[in-house]
């Protein structure tokens, strides 16, 4: 009997996963011949030189490290040694704050641009120039004017998440079917009620798609921004562990960044499914 | 000018031509409707039927002239004039009840939710959709969707119901059943209605008066046909009426040939402001051939 497509896909995923782990495990086995050396010198050189152990951690090292982090995610032993949970909380806080500020600006402005051809044309050149600017290019200007590294990071998140939402909202609002607007017109629906009962629900799927793109970009950018501004956050954690030469922790952080990004994306995908209407 | 319930007086529609200047779709168009009457407008694509309907709805304003309903010139859309759209135009994120209730609450803004829902349900029942009120439009068949559109339009109790080919997207069986129901509901409520159609049989079954429009550009109203069929007609046996074929032939003859040639051979005494009214019916003396008879 053939199992369902989902079951077969899950099985194949597991095979790929364990195949990858095995290849990784074999790949980091030390094979280098070790030259005999003075024990005093050997103590200075560490296991890579004395026992031929690979400098790259294997899956078992990473697994053990993940277990350690899971047992104690929120420890705080000074500015350079905080648990990965605390670092993630800092990053998420910055992302969500910058993102919601962007929502507050992009949605009303997108409505305005979408509803008025005049505004649409007037704003278009600015949007076209601002959109392709790498958000990190704003960082020096933000640091200089705001004079606070943490708020500057929030500003960078704001500026990178505002464009997809703005563009999608404007597009969604301008593309509302004329017949639905005509329904509102023949029913003499006043403008504010029309905006909330016709245009908003009609444009909601497009708007949420923009919000989903934005949260993805924001999560990409926060890592780089925190590497620059330092202090706290998962981006800073990655850079700090690189300076500590703890490749194991860097790999753990990479995994965690991926997982959180997926959760954020899926959360907005779920919102999108709720607001999508079949025609 | 007139004391008719609805009067269209000298309206015009022109499109800018690509090379400059303007193409006149129609101009100086006059006709009127009585209260409680069902009028159809028939003509080929491009003659401006939809523009006439949009003028009456207030969705577009005429370039010249004016459309008057109940003594008031139309200057925009109004709850007094409900529109049933060809594509039903239901809001897909609302249920059947939600769609009708949206219209009801727009009409009576101070009503409570219970009042609105009860009123909406009355019209949902009237179009035979009781039991489906919580379904979304996507779960309904084409005919059911159009029923919701009809319930929505009727629920605001408009002075006139405007319909833009409301049955054209439906299959023949559904169309027939729905025509029958619409006629029954409109007769019951004494609703004034104006409908665009391409379908001669639909016009004969539903309309009291049929406005014939010649081909565009520069379309004009050739004449207004009074339907000679009895008021209590039924769709299944209207073809048995002696007047059925005379009126049907008259309309077909118009659509096939006279809609093209009318412009070139305008009858003597033709007055744009008072298009001739004709009532094609079987001659009492049963002379074959000439069936057209002019009234007034």
Is A187 within 8 Å of B102 when comparing Cβ atoms? yes
The region, left, alpha or beta by phi > 0 then psi within -120 to 50, assigned to residue A213 is alpha
Minimal Cβ distance to B89: which of A183, A201, A277: A183
8 A C-beta contact, residue B76 and residue A180: no
Instruction: Give yes or no for B56 touching A (CB within 8 A).
Output: no
Low-confidence ranges of chain A (pLDDT < 70): 1-2, 31-34, 49
Closest residue in A to B108 (Cα) is A187
The CATH number of residue A247's host domain is 1.10.3720.10
Could you tell me which residue, B174 or A220, shows the higher pLDDT? Answer: A220
Looking at residue A221, what is its pLDDT? 96
Minimal Cβ distance to B85: which of A179, A189, A277: A179
In angstroms, the CA B10 to CA A271 distance is 53
Looking at residue B1, what is its pLDDT? 45
Looking at residue B290, what is its pLDDT? 45
Instruction: Give yes or no for B59 touching A (CB within 8 A).
Output: yes
The CA dihedral of A136, A137, A138, A144, to the nearest 10 degrees, is 100
How distant is the Cα of A173 from the closest Cα of chain B, in angstroms? 15
**Span B11-39, mean pLDDT?**
88
How distant is the Cα of B12 from the closest Cα of chain A, in angstroms? 22
Quote the mean pLDDT of chain B: 88
Residue in B61, B74, B77 to test binding to A, most A beta-carbons within 10 Å: B77
Q: What tens digit of pLDDT does each residue of B2-22 get?
A: 468 999 999 998 888 888 888
Closest residue in B to A275 (Cα) is B93
In angstroms, the CA A31 to CA A38 distance is 21
In a domain, A125, yes or no: yes
Instruction: Give yes or no for B169 touching A (CB within 8 A).
Output: no
**Span B72-77, mean pLDDT?**
92
pLDDT of B184 > 70? The answer is yes
Task: Enumerate long-range contacts of B46-49, CB under 8 Å, 24 or more apart.
Answer: B46/B215, B46/B216, B46/B217, B47/B213, B47/B214, B47/B215, B47/B216, B47/B219, B47/B259, B48/B13, B48/B213, B48/B216, B48/B219, B49/B196, B49/B213
Looking at residue B287, what is its pLDDT? 45
How distant is the Cα of A199 from the closest Cα of chain B, in angstroms? 11
**B213 φ, ψ (degrees, to nearest 5):** -110, 135
> In which band, very low, low, confident or very high, does the pLDDT at B230 lie, cut at 50, 70 and 90?
confident
**B155 φ, ψ (degrees, to nearest 5):** -65, -25
Residue in B69, B86, B89, B116 to test binding to A, most A beta-carbons within 10 Å: B89
Instruction: Give yes or no for B93 touching A (CB within 8 A).
Output: yes
In a domain, A216, yes or no: yes
> In which band, very low, low, confident or very high, does the pLDDT at B262 lie, cut at 50, 70 and 90?
confident
pLDDT of B274 > 90? The answer is no
How distant is the Cα of B94 from the closest Cα of chain A, in angstroms? 9
Count of domains for chain A: 1
Q: What tens digit of pLDDT does each residue of B89-138 get?
A: 999 999 999 999 999 999 999 999 999 999 999 999 988 899 999 999 99
Looking at residue A237, what is its pLDDT? 94
Is A185 within 8 Å of B107 when comparing Cβ atoms? no
In angstroms, the CA A187 to CA A185 distance is 5
In a domain, A14, yes or no: no
**Span B268-280, mean pLDDT?**
85
Give per-residue burial for A144-164: e unless 16+ CB within 10 Å, then b: eeeeebbbbbbbbbbbbbbbb
In percent, the amount of chain B with pLDDT more than 70 equals: 95
Closest residue in A to B95 (Cα) is A277
Check if the interface score ipTM surpasses 0.90. Answer: no
- Considering only CB atoms, which chain A residues are within 8 Å of B136? 277-278
Domain coverage including residue A170:
84-275
In a domain, A158, yes or no: yes
In angstroms, the CA B280 to CA B261 distance is 20
Looking at residue B174, what is its pLDDT? 85
Looking at residue B272, what is its pLDDT? 82
In a domain, A72, yes or no: no
pLDDT of B229 > 60? The answer is yes
**Span B70-96, mean pLDDT?**
92
Minimal Cβ distance to A188: which of B83, B89, B106: B106
> In which band, very low, low, confident or very high, does the pLDDT at B168 lie, cut at 50, 70 and 90?
confident
Q: Identify the weakest region by mean pLDDT among A123-132, A264-273, B37-46, B227-236.
A: B227-236
How distant is the Cα of A175 from the closest Cα of chain B, in angstroms? 15
Is A279 within 8 Å of B78 when comparing Cβ atoms? no
In a domain, A73, yes or no: no
In a domain, A33, yes or no: no
In a domain, A23, yes or no: no
């Amino acid at each position: 009997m053939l199992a369902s497509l989902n079951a077969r896909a899950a099985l194949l995923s597991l095979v790929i996963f364990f195949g990858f782990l095995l290849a990784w495990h074999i790949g980091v086995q030390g094979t280098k011949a070790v030259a005999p050396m003075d024990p005093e010198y050997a103590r200075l050189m560490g296991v890579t030189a004395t026992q031929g152990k690979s400098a790259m951690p294997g899956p078992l090292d990473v697994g053990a490290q993940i277990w350690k982090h899971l047992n104690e995610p929120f420890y705080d032993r000074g500015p350079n040694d905080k648990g990965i949970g605390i670092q993630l909380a800092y990053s998420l806080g910055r992302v969500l704050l910058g993102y919601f500020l962007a929502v507050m600006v992009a949605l009303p402005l997108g409505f305005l641009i979408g509803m008025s051809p005049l505004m649409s044309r007037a704003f278009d050149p600015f949007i076209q120039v601002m959109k392709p600017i790498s958000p990190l290019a704003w960082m020096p200007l933000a640091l200089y004017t705001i004079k606070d590294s943490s708020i500057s990071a929030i500003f960078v998140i704001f500026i990178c998440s505002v464009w997809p939402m703005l563009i999608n909202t404007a597009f969604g609002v301008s593309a509302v079917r004329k017949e639905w607007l005509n329904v509102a017109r023949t029913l003499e629906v006043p403008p504010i009620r029309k905006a909330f009962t016709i245009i908003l629900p009609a444009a909601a799927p497009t708007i949420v798609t923009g919000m989903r793109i934005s949260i993805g970009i924001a999560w990409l950018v926060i890592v780089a921004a925190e590497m620059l501004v330092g202090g706290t956050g998962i981006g800073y954690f990655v850079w700090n562990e690189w300076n500590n030469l703890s490749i194991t922790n860097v790999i753990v952080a990479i995994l965690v960044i991926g997982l959180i990004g997926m959760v954020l994306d899926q959360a907005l995908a779920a919102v999108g499914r709720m607001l999508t209407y079949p025609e | 000018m007139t004391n008719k319930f609805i009067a269209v007086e000298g309206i015009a529609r022109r499109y800018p031509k690509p090379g400059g200047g303007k193409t006149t779709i129609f101009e100086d168009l006059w006709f009127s409707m009585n209260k409680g009457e069902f009028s159809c407008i028939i003509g080929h694509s491009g003659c401006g039927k939809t523009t006439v309907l949009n003028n009456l709805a207030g969705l577009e304003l005429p370039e010249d002239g004016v459309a008057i309903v109940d003594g008031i010139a139309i200057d925009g859309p109004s709850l007094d004039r409900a529109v049933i759209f060809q594509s039903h135009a239901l809001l897909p994120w609302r249920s059947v009840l939600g769609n009708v209730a949206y219209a009801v609450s727009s009409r009576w803004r101070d009503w409570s939710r219970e009042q609105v829902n009860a009123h909406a349900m009355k019209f949902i029942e009237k179009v035979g959709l009781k039991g489906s009120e919580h379904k979304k439009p996507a779960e309904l068949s084409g005919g059911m969707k159009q029923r919701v559109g009809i319930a929505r339009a009727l629920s605001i109790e408009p002075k006139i119901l405007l319909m833009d080919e409301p049955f054209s997207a439906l299959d023949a069986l559904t169309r027939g059943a729905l025509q029958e129901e619409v006629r029954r509901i409109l007769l019951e409520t004494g609703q004034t209605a104006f409908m665009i159609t391409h379908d001669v049989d639909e016009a004969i079954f539903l309309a009291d008066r049929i406005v014939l429009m010649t081909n565009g550009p520069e379309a004009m109203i050739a004449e207004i046909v009074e339907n000679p069929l009895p008021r209590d007609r039924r769709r299944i046996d209207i073809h048995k009426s002696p007047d059925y074929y005379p009126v049907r032939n008259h309309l077909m003859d118009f659509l096939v040939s006279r809609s093209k040639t009318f412009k070139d051979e305008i009858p003597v005494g033709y007055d744009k402001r008072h298009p001739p009214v004709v009532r094609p019916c079987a001659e009492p003396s049963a002379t074959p051939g000439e069936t057209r008879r002019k009234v007034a």
